[in-house]
Every structure is written in structure tokens, then in C-alpha cells.
């Protein structure tokens, strides 16, 4: 839509008259800032700047927070530092901080010094101190503070006067004179209570809160547990310093899940979109894990080497190696995925381990027996070159491998949790390597035992 509007004008920004800019601006005022941002993000740098500068000051600040990382860079390159600072001045603090964190650090200091509003500057500075992934780093400082001694009518009056700039006023926070949080109250309660009721008599004293240094993942868990839409954040002295809203938490839930998935796939987690990540960075994130796992897998080659003698007499045995190891690996991953999920959401505690182990023993036996039977029949009917006793060895190994994989798949993540290591790291590839080694040992042990005359 924006592009159309600009093309209709068919001239670059220098020749746009003020009245025409006004006309376009009025049309854009109705549009959703996210959609405008998406359109601008896809433009070439020059028209992008033209389009961006047409927006009103307030709309520009909002649109800017939704632009892509590249668009941010493109715009920063073309506008003076003062204009950037003015933009930051207009933005919600947490959005401004997100933008700043993309910039090279030498620019950041100069830029912040140019932000005019001193309270905004101070807030941005404080935000930059919070550790990554902490509650402090995702909170917003725009919220409404009330006093317990106010009446509901006074509180409403106060909100009417002070609410314009606040990111959310649906929940208000009640503090004493020293900014200690004494309760929370929803706008709804204020509205639905008698006008002369005192805030402290109708507020909720039982609230869920976070501290600035809490891990954002724990905050997200509490959000979901208590079905919250906003949560107050307190500093080390229990004074309220910010709030976290549900839109930020949605991003956290998504990011934390992606982190788990990436760890399970032996990747160094990164929140950067794939297409924005350089080849070099992609290779670096991956090669160290591949190396580690490759070195780990060499143990399998030593095991096979030990049974060289057996293998050279029974080359047929080698044909089943990949199938046995893949099935074992898949069986292990199935469990570990479920266990990692439930360890993450509190559905499983480490003390449940014996119960889980007993469950997996039975699941493993059931799956193992079915797989072994199907494999036996398949080989018997469709691979006539395979001797009957070799078929028995393969089926037995399959059963053992599946059961062992199930037991390892539930044990490793729980052990990791006990050792304060992220269970997701223990999942998938590591389990595959361990199960592989075990499968080989069992395979050759059974073969040596059952096929003595061939050796």
C-alpha cells in the first residue's frame, strides 16, 4: 500500500510538497504499524528512508520497532545520530534497548548520550546492565503506580492523567512511599468497585512477581502457570522497577523452545533467522559439535576392530549394522525428547526417575518385541541369503538395543538435570553415540555366543 502511494506520487522525497506528505501521512495513520514495517523492510535503502520519514514522529517510533534488522542498519547508515536519538526518545524503553543491542558498541555510547529525555536515557542505561535472558532484560518501565490510600475514583483520575505513555494500564501496581510493592489491582477491579472504595481494600495482595535477575524461562513458566497477562519485576530490595507483559513472554516461550530444539540437534542456539546468518557463523555453530560427536563415535570403530576376526568370517553381520544402530538411536531419541519436554515444564522431577525407568522398561520391551518379530519375519521371507542363526542374532540384538536405548533415553536427561546441565544437551546425538556403542558390543557378544562354529 505504502509503495503504491509513493509510486503514484512518482517523485523522490525532495520534490514531495508538504501538503502531499500530509495527505499520505493521513492515509497511513489508519494502517497497522506492523504491516507498514513489513512493507518498508522490503524496500531498497533509498525509498525506505523516504517512506520512513513520511511517517509521523509517534508512528515512526512504533514502526521502527517492527522493522527487520537489515532495515534498521539501512536507516541508521543514512540518518544522523541526532535523528536516531530522537527516535529512541519516542520509543518504549524495552523496544529502544532491543534496537540498541543490535548496534556496534562504539556507536551505542555516543547515541545514548544524545537521547534528550534524561529519564529515558537513565532507563536505557539501566536496561543495558541486565544480564541477557534475565527478567530485567525483557521488562518495560512504563507502568502505572498507585497508592493504597487513594480511592478508586482518585485512582481513575490519576490513570486518566498519567496513562497515555504507559505500555499497559490494564494492571496497576500499588506501592508504599518507598516504592515497595504492596499489591496489584486491575483496571477492571478499579472500574467495577464503588468509587469511594480505598485501593488497599480492593487490591489483590496475593500476586506473583519476578526479580530483575531471574531467568526469563522461569518467568515464562510462572506466566503460564498462573495465566498472567503482566507480572511486576522487583529489584534486590523488593522495590518495583518494571513489568513484563504477555507479548514479550510469547517471544520468550518461542525462543526457549527453539533453543531446546537446536541443542537437541547439536547446534549452538542462536536467535538469528537462518537467512540473516552468515555462512561462516553457521559453519562455526555446527562444526564444533560435529567434531565432538565424531570423536565420540570413534569408540565404535575400536569396538568393530576388536571383532575383525568374527566379521571377516561373517561379513553378512556388517549388513545389519546400520539398521540396528539407527533403530537404537531412534528409540532413544523418542524417550529423551519426551523427558526433556516434561523436565522443562515441571511435569517430571528427577525424583520420578525410578517410576520413569520402570515405565520405559515395559515400553522398551513392547516396542523391542514387535520390532524384533517384524525384522525376523522380513529377513526370513525376503532375504533368503541370510542364515537362520544370523537372523536370530539380529533379532535378539534389536530387542536388547531398543530396551537399552529406552533406558538410556530417560536416564541421561534426568542425570543431566541433577548435575545442573541442560537436559536438552544430553538428548539426541549423545544418546545416539552411547546406544551405538552398546548395540555393537551386544551384537558381537551375541554373535560370538550363538555362532561359535563359524568363528
CA distance 363 to 406: 8
Q: How far is the CB of 63 from a second copy (least distance, A)?
A: 13
Which span (13-21, 29-37, 172-180, 236-244) binds a second copy, by CB under 8 A? 29-37
Rg (CA), the chain: 31
Residues 167-226 touching a second copy, rule: CB under 8 A, are 169-170, 187-188, 191-192, 205-206, 208, 220, 223-226
Chosen residue from 7, 125, 149, 246 binding a second copy by CB under 8 A: 246
Per CB under 8 A, contacts with a second copy among 146-165 are 156, 159-160, 163-164
C-alpha cell at 203: 487490591
Footprint (CB under 8 A) of a second copy, residues 261-280: 261-262, 264-267, 273-275, 279-280
Q: How far is Cα 244 from Cα 280, in angstroms, rounded to an integer? A: 35
- The grid coordinates of residue 256 equal 526457549
Is 145 near a second copy (CB under 8 A)? no
327 binds a second copy (CB under 8 A): yes
- In whole angstroms, the minimum distance from the beta carbon of 414 to a second copy comes to 12
Q: Is 32 in the site for a second copy (CB under 8 A)?
A: yes
Least distance to a second copy, CB of residue 94, Å = 12
Closer Cβ to a second copy, 199 or 325, answer by number: 325
Is-contact 356 323, C-beta < 8 A? Answer: no
Q: Which of residues 77-116 bind a second copy (CB under 8 A)?
A: none
Q: By CB under 8 A, tell whether 441 contacts a second copy.
A: no
Stretch that binds a second copy, among 49-57, 100-108, 413-421, 428-436 (CB under 8 A): 428-436
Return the C-alpha cell found at 25: 501521512
Q: Which of 103, 153, 197, 316 binds a second copy (CB under 8 A)?
A: 316
Kindly state the smallest distance separating residue 115's Cβ from a second copy, in Å.
23
Instruction: Count Cβ atoms within 10 A of the Cβ of residue 82 and give its class: 0-12 exposed, 13-18 middle, 19 or more buried.
Output: exposed
CA proximity to 125, closest of 362, 115, 166: 115
**Spatial CB neighbours of 24, under 8 Å, sequence gap ≥ 6:** 5, 6, 9, 54
Number of residues in contact with a second copy, rule: CB under 8 A?
115
Give the three cell numbers for residue 330: 531412534
Residue 137 engages a second copy in binding (rule: CB under 8 A)? no
Q: Are 385 and 317 in contact (CB under 8 A)?
A: no
Nearest approach in angstroms of CB 110 to a second copy is: 30
- For position 450 contacting a second copy by CB under 8 A, the verdict is no
C-alpha–C-alpha distance, residues 46 and 74, integer Å: 9
Q: 23 or 303: whose CB is closer to a second copy?
A: 303
Nearer to a second copy, 136 or 344 (CB): 344
Contact segment (CB under 8 A) with a second copy among 74-82, 102-110, 176-184, 242-250 equals 242-250
The stretches of 10-143 forming alpha helices (DSSP H) are 18-29, 33-41, 45-54, 57-66, 69-78, 81-90, 93-100, 105-114, 118-129, 135-138
For residue 209, give the nearest of 240, 169, 254 by alpha carbon: 240
- Provide CB contacts within 8 A for 359, sequence distance 6+: none
Under rule CB under 8 A, residue 395 binds a second copy? no
Contacting residues for 95 by C-beta, under 8 A, at least 6 apart: 65
Q: In angstroms, give the least distance from the CB of 299 to a second copy.
A: 9
Amino acid at each position: 500500500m505504502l509503495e503504491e502511494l509513493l509510486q503514484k506520487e512518482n517523485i523522490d522525497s525532495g520534490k514531495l510538497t508538504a501538503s502531499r506528505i500530509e495527505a499520505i501521512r493521513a492515509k497511513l495513520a489508519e494502517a497497522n504499524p506492523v504491516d507498514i514495517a513489513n512493507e518498508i523492510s522490503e524496500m531498497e535503502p533509498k525509498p525506505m528512508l523516504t517512506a520512513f520519514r513520511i511517517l509521523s514522529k509517534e508512528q515512526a517510533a512504533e514502526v521502527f520497532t517492527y522493522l527487520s534488522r537489515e532495515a534498521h542498519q539501512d536507516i541508521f547508515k543514512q540518518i544522523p545520530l541526532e535523528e536516531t536519538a530522537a527516535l529512541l526518545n519516542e520509543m518504549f524503553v524495552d523496544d529502544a534497548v532491543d534496537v540498541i543491542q543490535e548496534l556496534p558498541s562504539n556507536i551505542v555510547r555516543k547515541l545514548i548520550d544524545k537521547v534528550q529525555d534524561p529519564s529515558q536515557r537513565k532507563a536505557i542505561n539501566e536496561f543495558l546492565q541486565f544480564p541477557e535472558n534475565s527478567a530485567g532484560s525483557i521488562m518495560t518501565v512504563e507502568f502505572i503506580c498507585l497508592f493504597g490510600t487513594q480511592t478508586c475514583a482518585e485512582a481513575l483520575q490519576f490513570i486518566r492523567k498519567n496513562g497515555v505513555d504507559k505500555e499497559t494500564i490494564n494492571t496497576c501496581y500499588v506501592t508504599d512511599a518507598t516504592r515497595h510493592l504492596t499489591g496489584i489491582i486491575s483496571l477492571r477491579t478499579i472500574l467495577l468497585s464503588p468509587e469511594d472504595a480505598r485501593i488497599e481494600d480492593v487490591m489483590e495482595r496475593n500476586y506473583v512477581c519476578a526479580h530483575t535477575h531471574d531467568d526469563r524461562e522461569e518467568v515464562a513458566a510462572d506466566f503460564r502457570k498462573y495465566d498472567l497477562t503482566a507480572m511486576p519485576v522487583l529489584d534486590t530490595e523488593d522495590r518495583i522497577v518494571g513489568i513484563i507483559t504477555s507479548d514479550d513472554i510469547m517471544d520468550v516461550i518461542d525462543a526457549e523452545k527453539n533453543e531446546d530444539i537446536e541443542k537437541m540437534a547439536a547446534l549452538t542456539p542462536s536467535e538469528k533467522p537462518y537467512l540473516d546468518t552468515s555462512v561462516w557463523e553457521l559453519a562455526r555453530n555446527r562444526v564444533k559439535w560435529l567434531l565432538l560427536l565424531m570423536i565420540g563415535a570413534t569408540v565404535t570403530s575400536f569396538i568393530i576392530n576388536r571383532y575383525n576376526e568374527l566379521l571377516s568370517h561373517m561379513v553378512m553381520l556388517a549388513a545389519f549394522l546400520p539398521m540396528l544402530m539407527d533403530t537404537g538411536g531412534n528409540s532413544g531419541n523418542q524417550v529423551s525428547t519426551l523427558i526433556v519436554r516434561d523436565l522443562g515444564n515441571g511435569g517430571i522431577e528427577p525424583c520420578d526417575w525410578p517410576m520413569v525407568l520402570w515405565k520405559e522398561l515395559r515400553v522398551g520391551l513392547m516396542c523391542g518385541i514387535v520390532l524384533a518379530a517384524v525384522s525376523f519375519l522380513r529377513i526370513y521371507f525376503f532375504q533368503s541369503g541370510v542364515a537362520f542363526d544370523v537372523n536370530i542374532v539380529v533379532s535378539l540384538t534389536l530387542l536388547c538395543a531398543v530396551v537399552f536405548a529406552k533406558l538410556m533415553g530417560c536416564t541421561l536427561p534426568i542425570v543431566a538435570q541433577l548435575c545442573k546441565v541442560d537436559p536438552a544437551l544430553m538428548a539426541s546425538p549423545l544418546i545416539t553415540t552411547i546406544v551405538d556403542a552398546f548395540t555393537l558390543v551386544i551384537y558381537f557378544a551375541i554373535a560370538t555366543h550363538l555362532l561359535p562354529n563359524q568363528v
